[in-house]
Structures are given as C-alpha cells and as structure tokens.
C-alpha cells in the first residue's frame, strides 16, 4: 500500500529525475561494456588482496580477544577502564600509524634504522589496490603490539598516561622495530627470521608492558611484607576463555596471513603449525601445572594456549610439524617458568601475565628458529631470507642473528618504554591514587561501573559507591 | 579394537555394498575426469562469490554485536528479551526477505518505487551461483536495519509487537528503500550515492527506532517531573565493548563487501577509510566528552566508534583519506549532539542511543558525500553513478540528491514505522504494564531470568522473585 | 630521537651486516625475478586453499560458540570447568587427530572400515599446499564432534575422565565414522549423503554425549522422587545467546566449506539453505513452545536455531529452498520433542540439550535427505554420489542407505562411548562426589571460581567458600 501513497512526491521530482537520469545512463553503459574476463595478473592481484584483507580482519578481531582476556583476568571494578584502553589503543594507533608509523616502518631506509618518507601514506596511490590492503594488515599488527601492554599495566595506570604511551608505541617504538626486521632495516639485511612477529609484535608489547609494570609498581595487596605474593583472581573466567578463543581464531589471520600473498600455497601449512603448537602448549601447560599444583588449572591452560601461539609465530613458516609440536610443548613450560620468574624473582605485578606470554614466549620462539629453521619447509613457504637452523646444518649463524635481534629489540622496546613511563611518572604521576585504586578505576577515572547490578556493590545513602576490593 | 568387533555387521551388508558401489564408481569416474583448469571467467566468478559470501558472513556476525551492545547497555532484568529479539529479527527477517523483501527490492521496477517480481526467489536459478551469494549479502543487510530498532525500543516493548514490526521492516519498509537507492529505483536513477548504506540500512533502522520509542514513551524512571533525565546504567560494560568490537569487525564486511565484487581492487582502500573514520570518531567522541564532562567516558568512546562507522558507510568508497578522517572526527561530535537533542530536547528515551548513532550519523554521512565525493577516488573504486561533491567542483547537484534521499527515506521509514507502531498500540497496546516493566521483561514475558545467580535477586519464601529496579 | 641514540650499536654490527647482506641480496634478486603471473591451475589452487582455510577458521570459532552456549546454560559454579573442557578437547583433539585420527579417517582403506596409513600426517608432503588446508578443515570438524559432548556431561564429569574420553573420540570414534562416510568407507561406497556432517559430526557428538550422561546419571536436584524433573537454569542468557550467534556464524564455514572447493559455484546456495533452515527452526521452535507453554521461550528459540542448523547440515547441498524451509520448520518441533523424550521419558539429564539438538536433529536431517535430495540441486552443487530422494523418484534406495548410516553410526558412536565411559567409571569413577558437585567443579576440581565477585559467594572466616547450589 505504501508506495502508492508516496507517488505524488515522486511526481514532483520528475524534472530532477530526467536530468540526472541521462547522466546515470551514460555511466551505466560504460560500466556494462566491461565484460572481458580479467587476465591472470588481475586475478592474482584480487586473490592477494582478499587474502591479506581477510587475514587482517581476523587480526583486528584479536583486539576483542585481548579486551576479553584482560577484562576477564582483572577485577570487575576496572573493566570499563580496560575496555576503554583496548578500544582507544586501536583508535589512536590507527591515527598514528596512518600519520607517522607506516612511514617510519616502510619508508625509504635511513641507514637501516627507520624509514623517512611516506608520511600520511603519501606514498600510497590509487593505482595499486594491494598497497591499501597491505597497510591495513600492518596497522592491525601495530595495534596488537600496543594492546598487549594494557594487560601488564592494568588496574592502576591512569587512562591519560595510557593514551600518551599509545601514541609513542604506535608512532615510534613499534614502527622502528618493524623497520629493522620487516621494513628492510639492519636486522632484515642480516637475515633475521621472524615470520609473523614473535619479536616484532609480541616481544615489543611484552617488553613495553614490563617497563610500565616496573615503573608503576605492584597493585595494592599483591605482595605481602614477607615478600610472598597473593593471587588476585580475575572477575570472569568465561570472558577470559572467550578472549583466548577469539585470539586463537585471530591468529589464523596473524600467522598464515603473514605470507602477504594468497598465492603462496603454504598458508594451510602455516595454519597447521600454528594450531599444533598452540594445542601442544595448552596441553603441556595444563599437565605441568597439574603436576606442580596438584590440580588442572583453567587459567594456566588458557595462558598455555597463548604461549604456544606466541612462540610459534616467529617460526610458523620455517619449521617442520614435529618442530612445531616441540616448540608448543616447551612453550607451555616456558610460560609457567616466566610467570614464576616475573612474580617471585623480579617481584613484578603483571595482572594478566602479558610479559611472560608475549616477551617470554616471543623470545623463546624467535630463538628456536635459529635451531629449527628447516630448508625444505622454507622452500615450500618461500621464505627466501635467512639460513637453516643449527639442527639442519646451518651453523650458529642464524641462531646468532636471532639472538642479536631478540636482544636489540629488548633493549630498544624496554628501554624506550621505560624512559617514557619514567618521565611521565616524574612529570605528573602515571598511577592513580591508592584511594582510587581501591575504589576501582571505573569509578575514579570514568565515573561509571562495569556491572552496576552485580556483586557486592553498595550504594550508600550519601551517594557513595563501594566496590569489591575496598577495605571495610 | 573396535573395527574388528564390527566386521560381522559389515559382512551382512555386503550385498548392499556391491550393488551401490557400482553406481558410486560410475559417478566417481565422471568426477575424476574433470581435471581441466577453470577458465578466467570461472575463476573470476569464484573470487566474486567467495568475497561477497565472506563479507556477508562478517555482516551476519554483526547480529551478535548488536545483541551484545544492546544487552550490555540495558539492565540485567531484560537481557533475555533482548537476546530473543535480536535472534528472531534475524530469523523472521530471513523468512520475509526470502519470500517478499528481495523481490520488492530487486524485482522488475514499477515506476522507480518497488520491484514486482521474483517472489520466493523465483528469479534465482541454478545457472549462476553468484545470485545466491548476492541474496545472502542483501539479506544480512536487511537484518541489520531490522535489528537496530530493538535497542531504541528496549526494556518496554512486548515481544509480540516486535515480531510483527520485524515482519514489516524486513518485508516492506527496508526493501522499498533498498529498491529506491540500490535496486534501480528513483533515487538510484538520480545518482544518489550511499555506497554501503548509511541511509539505506542505518537511517532506516534509526528512524524506525525513533518511531517506536516515541509511540512507547520513556521507561519508568527515565525522566523526572521537572523535565530532567536520569542515567539508567547498562548492566555490563564488557558485553557492550565486546559488541562494539564485533560490530567494527563486521563492518569490514559491510563496507568493503559492498563492492559486490572481489575483483574490485579498491576493497583494501574501503577497509582503510572505514577504519580511519571509526578510529577518528572514537577519539573525537572521547575527547569532546572529556572536555564536556571532565572525564573520559567509556560509553561515549564506544558510541563514538559506532558513529564513525555509520557515518563513513555512505562515502567509504568515494572520499579521500583526509575526508574520511574529517567525517570520523565530526561524527564523534555529531553523535554527542544527537544524543543530547534526543534526550534533552525531544525528550525521547532511547536506551542504547540507536537513533543518534544510526539515524543521526547516517544522515550526516550521507550528506557529507555531497560535499566530499572525490572523482579520483570514484574512478579507483569504480563508483560510476553520481557526481563529485561540492568541494570537488561538482556543484550543488549531488548534495541536493543526497539531501533529497535522506529526507525521503526519513519520511518513509519514520512515517511508515510510526503508523505501524501507532496502529498496533491502538489495537492492543505494544507496551508491557508498569508492573511487568519494573519486574523486568525476562520474567514477565518469558518466565526466565538472565542471570539467576547474580545481582540482588531475592527469591522470597512465597516464590516471588524481586529483580533490580523494583521499588522496595 | 631514539634511533640516533642507537646508531653506535649499529656501527658495531657493521661487519655482520655486510657479510649477511650479500646473502640476502642474492635471495632478493632470485625472488624479484618471479614476476610471471600464475597460471590458471595455480590460481584455482589458491582459491581452493583460501576458501577451505577461511571456512575452517570459521568452524574453529565454533569452539568459542560451544563454550559460551554450554557455559551460559550451566551454573556459575562450573564455568571454569566447562571452559577448560572446551579448550582442552580442541587441544587434545588437535594432537590426536594429527597423530592418529587423520590416518584412520583418510588412510588407505581396510575393508571399508578404517584407514591404515599416514600416521602423523606422513602422507602429506610439501608439494601440495591444499593437503594441509584440507587437514585443518577436517581437524576442526573432529573437534566439533568432541566438544558437543562436554555439554551433555556438564556439571558432574571429572576433568580427567573428560580428557581420556577426548583422546578416544578424536583418535578413534570420530575418525572411524568419518572414514565410513567421508573417507571412502562402506557407507560412502553405498552412496550415503551426509554433505557436511549431520551424522558424521553432530550425531557422533550427540550419541557420545548420551552415553556419558547415562553412565553419569542426573545432576543432584534434577529429578524428584515422584519422577518429575526440575529446571536448573543456566547462569547467563547473554553468554548462551552469544554462543548461538557464534555457532550460526561458524556454520557458514561448516556447510558451504564442505564443498572443499572454492571453485564450486554453489557455495552461496549452500549458505542460503543453511540460513533458511536455521531461521525457520528458530521461528518454529519459538512458536511451538509459545503455544505449548504460553510464553515465548528465549532458551527454546536459541535451541531451535541450533536444531535447524544441525538438521540442514546433511542436506544443505542437495535440497531445494522449500525443502530447506521444511526441514527447518520441522527441526524446530523435533528438538522440542527430543528434549521432552530425553528428559521425561528416558529420564536422562542433559544440561544443555546437546543430545536432542545434535543426535536428534542430526538423525532427522540425515533421513530427510533420503526423502528430499533433488537431482537438479545435486547437479548444481556437484554432489556426484547418492541418488535422488523418495519425493523425486529416487525410490526407497537412498532413504534406506541414509537410515542404515544413521543406525550404524548410532550403534558405533553410542556403543563405543558407552563402553568407554562405563569402563572408566568401573575402574576409578568418572563422577565427582556429591559434595564436590554441590560446591561446584570449579572449586573442587580446579581450585578456582568463575566469578569470584558476583553472586552469593561467601568467603567465610575459615577460608571456606560457599557457592550457589550449596545447601545452607
């Protein structure tokens, strides 16, 4: 019935329609003539663009995974703050990587250290559609490095400090490392193999997180006077598990997508090694912790899966299936060892275990490439840089390059982040007050509550709200 | 061991196997002979089908995003109702768009107003596989328009009324607009540019939501007698944030997929403009609200991201990077302005801000195309209809068409929805009773509880359950 | 600033750089020469790999869907346990299917019963990249069958028993069925049509779940002494709904991906039938339950959607649109009937309805193929095995094969699982103690709490924790 009611309106518009219709018709004819099937080059280009884009979308979705893992492993009084940080590091990172980061990472090389042109993507044109897909793919990687940090500094870092930090990691710290290893810089020239970024992405995030956690100090209640530490349980195991599933899902874009080509026939193989290592690490972390603690730990199995994913990221395209299995099995132990070292030896409070997972297993996975890079696999996956690992007759050369890369990135990422957090802390203080921390950052920083209807939230007569964690 | 135990069973079946095996073998031989590699036309067709399908799957997943955003921003006593509405609008919409909607939208044109054939997809055959992928892609868009409404009418609309409304928006209101702009109708003939549906999808949903919210009136407790309004906080910021991440993820199918061709080399570019605008809007909404309210608002940053996504949807394939940035930055302010207008000036209660985000920013983004459509970008993305925007020498022509389209859609979508809700309300009342609203729709409409173990739920001796929101 | 600070370090590395740089340059030149566009065979192969991989990633994501559905439909005191089970069945399944399962399923045929070579994927080489994508796709299907079970045995099965069971279903029970129907085994030779696994995947999971639930017995409080049963509500409708949306999303990989070819032009059509059946089943389950119970049930609509998805899985590529609609409409009733049968007639306690959804609708959907398989559709989708259904002149032949397959799989999957659970139960007891069950498996099995800040959790002075469900 409705269309008839509207026909008078349409009649009023008739003159408009006639004038514009001619223009439209001309364009339509031009479009209709384009019926020649595309040539092989065009088809290949489309396949590459689609593959890189879809993989990049999956990597984008890892932002949701990190948000859920960090939210789930932290307390309810800080979830709004964590959600905001995970959203804004991607948003701010998108702007910074667009304006500066991409140019620093992929611009013309200045002595192997950083790129120097292409600011605001001025180097990208409308003649090659792949460039834009490539940018999107690189952007979501930069954002992954940035968002790792929010877990390590959770529950006590001011949102303003986090925003400033995000500008630096997206606009300087990450792109410089990216240039070194993926942008033709000095480590690339030496043949360092970090296929999908155990070091470029995960270690950078992990080291920056360690720097932030060190400058901040531990949360109130984490360590006792006698030096022992307490478990501060997260508020939702379901959200944490959902986050791990999302991250695992996204990693199928992260690693296989790093071929940067849909025509590379090995993308299924890379998905396979990625998955095998993740599975092995989840099982080994579960069993090791079961033996250690007498119970199968949900949290440790979740962290184990992430540990395996981070560890295989460097070598996913250069190792055999059994090597992937080995890397996974060991990663499940490495993450437990690192968690212990960081909490009990270094006495650093990393609420979600980000440093152990991303810096610890990132380093481990990168070094394993120096041992296990297999020439047959490299030929299959078209990894044309670097040398075979020590176990395949490659000598100590590749291992040395990997170690040098790990070390250089650790020094740069940890050093620059530490300086940044330290200076910010001196200038105006990056940590919320004890009162605000006890009350929760959602109330103190944002004036909101994550779950106003759940938990022992008391809305007192005078309008004061008391959240879990507040001393009675 | 087990297979041996079963071998006797298999022996009994031997005659069967022999008879059927022959048939199978014949088919197998036929299949094995098909080893000629496909020609370029077949390859191109496959690339297009895969791209449109994968993009459509991402858009489908936005249903989960809307469910989480709406659930998170509403109270726990109504989440079951919201989940059901978000599920059934997709389910009912799938049936209606299959039966009627697609024919109205893409059938043979009747005076530019609506299609008139192809009911129950009778126009689709088994000779062209792309048609079915195209239908799926259009279906998920129709469902997006429908599901936007559930947020604006949340926490008080009966589920029966929502189901009836869903039939109309999927089977009539949306397809008619779709025909006008995407189905060769009068606005298409005038060259209106709404690349991925700021107006076709988002404004339609937003206007219908406004109509529903107006007919329903505000929730109990939203407005005070002195005209001031209260914040009714949602029950879960983590769910709301998860929803925004899912929506952002799904938008990478929504906008780049709207090329309807995987061979269009600009899909990476469209993903890029989409992302840049979303990021800019999240940052600008955060900062504007920070300045206004003195605190960085989690909720506003989340809505800002959605605002940017909605606003760039019309122009994602026709604007330059800097124009996308500008649209995003402005959208972050527009959404705050619209939220204020709707709540404080119009005094309409839209629990999740759906009208501001989808109608407000949808209009804004569509109009910006009339200013900022860039001919160079249009050549790259193969947008062959419409004219350049005012800023690129296109005169007022395109801006006029955009404005006319925005207006016509507003009149049609708001008008028809208002009539529908108003008539339903007169006939039997579309709003639950005050008692039911206070108790929560989960109990009153569905006899269930969203979170029976959480929150101040009291199961009294007489079996009565008291939910949050009930006066003491 | 920072790069300049680091330049001295770089200078120290100059000798390294020069030596390695030469090697890198040689490789680079070799790579740069490869500019011939790929031939049609290579393009076709890439399209197939990408399609199968992307579809497989979606199926992987269904693990998250199952975790959320099961978590949401169970009580808060057991969510950690459920998350761990859903994670480890995928992890353990990945290892087992890699080591044994794939070989049993696709190895050289031994009398139609199981494969006998290719252990540890020794049959896969680096010459064909598709093989690895194919393995990944098969792996995620195996994991789906495994994870279905965790819902039926939820809230009372020990984690150790679940891990042992997982080894068997991934390494033996599922691969044997897979070989029968998809690996060239006796049912394949008879022409059984189970396109994407209503029987292979869903019935196997459902039957194994029934076996586990039978051996375990009902949860404390499920059945009363007079034989009536109680509803034990799940703890989160939002998580359950999120899970259903994720599963629906993942099913777009499950069914269309089962073409195992991106060049198959019918993938859009298969997505369409899948979606139509799911939508129809959600609506019919909603309406049937509305009529039965007087209220629209959120839980039943969610289960209805899953029922439709399971039911259409066998026939998604062989039935017409109207047949898909019919299968969906009936599935919405079948699942309600099966839920009633299992709970009220068999008196089996299946906390999430997994047996009704997966075994009940899996059987139903597989049988419907024998009635409704359409030769025109089969030609379009290139299903070259089996015969048309009864309604299309195919006689009782295909229906007989379908029924035989359903029966054989039921006997094998239920029988082997029952024996396994029964033996494990005799040997050491697979069920947690009554005290542990009341306390919740999270505390008793894992020493953790899913939501330590929510709900009526009381941390008593003596360190005892009391969870919902504990008698006062």
Query: For A390-400, how does the pLDDT look when each residue is reduced to its tens digit (9 = 90+)?
Result: 999 888 999 99
Distance from CA of C18 to the nearest CA of A (A): 8
| Coil/strand/helix, residue A353 | coil
Q: What is the DSSP string of C189-233?
A: HTT---SS-IIIIIIHHHHHHHHHHHHH-PPTTSB-TTS-B----
pLDDT of residue C8: 43
So what's the pLDDT on residue C278?
98
CB contact (8 A) between residue C412 and residue B6: yes
pLDDT tens per residue across span C283-303: 999 999 999 999 999 999 999
CA distance B368 to B395: 13
Confidence tier at A10 by pLDDT (50, 70, 90):
very low
Name the CATH superfamily for B69-428: Ammonium transporter AmtB like domains (1.10.3430.10)
Instruction: In whole angstroms, give the CA distance from residue B138 to residue A419.
Output: 52
Residue-wise DSSP of C120-161: GGTT--SS-HHHHHHHHHHHHHHHHHHHHHHHHTTTTB-HHH
Set of chain B residues whose Cβ sits within 8 Å of the Cβ of C40: 37-40, 43
Q: For residue A26, how many other CB atoms are within 10 A of its CB?
A: 11
d(CA C199, CA C362): 6
Give chain C positions within 8 Å (CB) of B136. Answer: 268, 271-272, 275
Helix axes B298-313, B40-73, angle to 10 degrees: 150
Residues of A in contact with B397 (CB under 8 A): 20
Please, are residues C260 and C45 in contact by the beta-carbon 8 Å criterion? no
Does C211 reach chain B within 8 Å, measured CB to CB?
A: no
CA dihedral for B91, B95, B100, B103, sign (positive or negative): positive
pLDDT digits (tens, 9 = 90+) for A124-154: 999 889 999 999 999 999 999 999 999 999 9
Indicate the SS3 state at residue B223.
strand
Predicted pLDDT of residue A447: 93
Q: What pLDDT shows up at residue A164?
A: 96
pLDDT of A3 above 90: no
pLDDT in tens, B191-247: 999 999 999 999 999 999 999 999 999 999 999 999 899 999 999 999 999 999 999
SS (H, E, C) B419-470: HHHHHHHHHHCCECCHHHHHHCHHHHHHCCCCCCCCCCCEECCCCCEECCCC
* Integer CA distances (angstroms), A451 to B85, B455, C75, in order: 22, 9, 19
pLDDT at A196 over 70: yes
pLDDT of residue A466: 37
DSSP state of A74: S
Please state, rounded to an integer, the average pLDDT across all residues of chain C. Answer: 90
- The confidence band for A34, taking pLDDT boundaries of 50, 70 and 90, is low
- Residue C17: pLDDT above 70? no
Give the pLDDT score at C110: 74
Q: Check the CA dihedral B180-B182-B187-B189 and report its sign.
A: negative
> What is the pLDDT, as a whole number, of residue B394?
85
Mean pLDDT (whole number) for C99-106 = 97
The CA distance from B416 to A6, in Å, is 11
User: Where in A84-233 does DSSP place strands (E)?
Assistant: 109-110, 114-115
Q: Which residues pair with B115 in a beta bridge?
A: B109
Per-residue confidence band for A264, with pLDDT thresholds at 50, 70 and 90? very high
Check pLDDT > 60 for residue A5.
Answer: no
CA atoms within 13 A on the CB side of C436: 18
Length of chain C: 472
Q: Does C157 touch chain A (CB under 8 A)?
A: no
Q: Of A129, C202, A199, C387, which Cα lies nearest the Cα of B382?
A: A129
Give exposure, A281-296, as e/b (b: 16+ Cβ within 10 Å). Answer: bbbbbbbbbbeeeeeb
Report CA-CA distances (Å) from C216 to A5, A152, A402, B164, C222: 65, 42, 52, 44, 13
Are A195 and A255 spatial neighbours (Cβ–Cβ below 8 Å)? yes
Q: Report how far residue A447's alpha carbon sits from residue A440's, in angstroms, rounded to the nearest whole number.
A: 10
Class of domain A52-428: mainly alpha
Q: How far is CA C381 from the centre of its chain?
A: 23
Cβ(B75)–Cβ(B440) under 8 Å?
yes
Residues above pLDDT 90, as percent of chain C = 85
pLDDT of residue B455: 64
Average pLDDT, integer, range A243-255? 98
What parts of chain B have a pLDDT lower than 50?
1-33, 457-472
The position carrying tokens 């007919």 is B215
Q: Provide the b/e sequence for A454-469 (b: ≥16 CB within 10 Å).
A: bbebeeeeeeebbbbb
Q: Which residue has the higher pLDDT, A227 or B91?
A: B91
**Could you tell me if A61 lies within 8 Å of chain C, comparing CB atoms?**
no
CB contact under 8 A, A298 and C80: yes
What is the H or E stretch that residue C180 is in?
helix C174-182
Digit-coded pLDDT (tens) for B357-385: 999 999 999 999 999 999 999 999 999 99
- Show the tokens assigned to B82: 């919201």
Place of tokens 């030149």: C29
**Predicted pLDDT at B470:** 33
- b/e map of B419-433 (b: 16 or more CB within 10 Å)? ebbeebbeeeebbbe
**Nearest CA distance, C17 vs chain B (angstrom):** 35
Q: Tell me if residue A392 falls in helix, strand or coil.
A: helix
Give the start-to-end residue ranges of the domains of chain B. Answer: 69-428, 434-466
The whole-number pLDDT of residue C227 equals 84
Check CB contact under 8 Å for C7 and A190.
no
Confidence class of residue C34 from pLDDT cuts 50, 70 and 90?
A: low
Residue B87 sits at the chain C interface (C-beta within 8 Å): yes
Considering only alpha carbons, which residue of chain A is nearest residue C139?
A272
Q: What is the complex's ipTM, to 2 decimals?
A: 0.91
User: Does position C274 have pLDDT exceeding 90, yes or no?
Assistant: yes
Check CB contact of A366 with chain C, cutoff 8 Å. Answer: no
Number of CB atoms found within 10 A of residue B62's CB? 26
Please report which helix (H) or strand (E) contains residue B279, including its range.
helix B267-293
C-beta separation of C370 from C401 below 8 A: yes
Cα–Cα dist A405/A366, whole Å: 9
- Across the interface, whether the CB atoms of B275 and A24 are under 8 A apart is answered no
Assigned CATH class of C44-428: mainly alpha
Distances C10 to A12, A109, C14 between C-alpha atoms, Å: 73, 14, 6
DSSP assignment of C290-308 equals HHHHSS--HHHHHHHHHHH
Across the interface, do C265 and B49 touch by the CB < 8 Å criterion?
A: yes
The pLDDT value recorded for residue C10 is 44
For residue A26, pLDDT over 70 is answered with no
CA nearest to A65, candidates A269, A357, A280, A277: A357
Instruction: Please report the pLDDT score of residue C471 as a whole number.
Output: 33
Distances from the Cα of C112 to the Cα of C109, C182, C183, angstroms: 6, 11, 9
Rounded-to-integer distance, Cα A354 and Cα A417, Å = 15
């Amino acid at each position: 019935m409705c269309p008839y009611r509207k026909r008078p309106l349409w009649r009023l518009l008739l003159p408009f329609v006639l004038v514009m219709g001619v223009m439209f018709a001309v364009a339509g004819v031009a479009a209709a003539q384009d019926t020649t099937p595309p040539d092989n080059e065009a088809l290949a280009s489309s396949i590459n663009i689609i593959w890189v884009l879809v993989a990049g979308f999956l990597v984008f979705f890892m932002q949701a995974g990190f948000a859920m893992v960090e939210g789930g492993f932290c307390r309810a009084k800080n979830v709004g703050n964590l959600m905001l940080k995970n959203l804004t590091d991607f948003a701010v990172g998108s702007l910074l990587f667009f304006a500066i980061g991409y140019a620093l990472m992929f611009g013309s090389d200045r002595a192997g250290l950083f790129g120097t042109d292409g600011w605001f993507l001025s180097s990208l044109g409308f003649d090659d559609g792949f460039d834009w897909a490539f940018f999107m793919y690189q952007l979501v990687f930069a954002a992954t490095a940035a968002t790792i940090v929010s877990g390590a500094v959770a529950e006590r870092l001011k949102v303003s400090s986090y925003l400033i930090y995000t500008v630096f990691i997206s606009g300087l710290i990450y792109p410089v490392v990216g240039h070194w290893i993926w942008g033709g810089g000095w480590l690339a020239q030496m043949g360092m193999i970090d296929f999908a970024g155990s070091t470029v992405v995960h270690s950078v995030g992990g080291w920056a997180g360690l720097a932030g956690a060190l400058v901040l100090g531990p949360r109130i209640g984490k360590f006792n006077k006698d030096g022992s530490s307490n478990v501060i349980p997260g508020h939702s195991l379901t959200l944490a598990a959902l986050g791990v599933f999302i991250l695992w899902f996204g990693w199928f874009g992260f690693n296989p997508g790093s071929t940067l080509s849909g025509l590379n026939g090995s993308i299924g193989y890379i998905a396979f090694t990625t998955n095998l290592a993740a599975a092995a690490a989840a099982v080994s972390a579960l069993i090791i912790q079961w033996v250690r603690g007498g119970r199968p730990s949900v949290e440790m199995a979740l962290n184990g899966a992430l540990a395996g994913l981070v560890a295989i990221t460097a070598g996913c395209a250069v190792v055999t299936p059994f090597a992937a299995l080995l890397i996974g099995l060991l990663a499940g132990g490495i993450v437990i060892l690192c968690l212990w070292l960081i909490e009990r030896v270094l006495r650093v409070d990393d609420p979600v275990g980000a440093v152990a997972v991303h810096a610890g297993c990132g380093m481990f996975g990168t070094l394993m490439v120096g041992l296990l890079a297999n020439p047959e696999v490299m030929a299959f996956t078209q990894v044309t840089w670097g040398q075979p690992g020590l176990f395949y007759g490659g000598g100590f050369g590749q291992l040395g390059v990997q170690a040098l890369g790990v070390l250089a990135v650790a020094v740069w990422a940890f050093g620059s982040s530490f300086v940044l957090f330290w200076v910010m802390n001196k200038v105006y203080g990056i940590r919320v007050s004890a009162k605000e921390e006890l009350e929760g950052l959602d109330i103190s920083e944002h004036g909101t509550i994550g779950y106003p209807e759940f938990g022992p939230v008391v809305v007192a007569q005078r309008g004061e709200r008391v959240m879990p964690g507040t001393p009675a």
